[in-house]
Amino acid sequence: MTNHLHLIISADLEDVKLWQVIRDFKKFTAQKIIQMMQKEENRRWILDVMKAAGAQNNANTQYQFWIQDDGAEEIQSDKFFFTKIYLHPRKPGKGTDSYRCLQLCLEFSQVV
């Protein structure tokens, strides 16, 4: 599916909370993806949908890209960890939206 993302992340610094990492990741990826969509004529209709959704949410300045609830689950056991790892074993193919998303995740990890 190209409409959601599974991440395993951590906040290693004492003064950095996990919710702050998630917030910054969402902001970074939303900005990058919106910039890419603005350059592609066939995806501009999606921007119109996100702009309409953003207008109905006071937390947004323009677009609604991510949902407000992140659905985060804390990994507390090896069993839980391996269940999540093996739930989606497919690798994204180059040129797909999943591959582009993976590239953004890697870019974000270098910025932080």
Could you tell me the pTM of the whole model? 0.68
Chain mean position to CA 73: 15
> Alpha-carbon torsion 30, 32, 33, 35, what sign?
positive
pLDDT of the residue at 91 = 56
Residue ranges in the chain whose pLDDT is less than 70: 1-3, 85-112
Cα 64 to Cα 17: distance, rounded to the nearest angstrom: 23
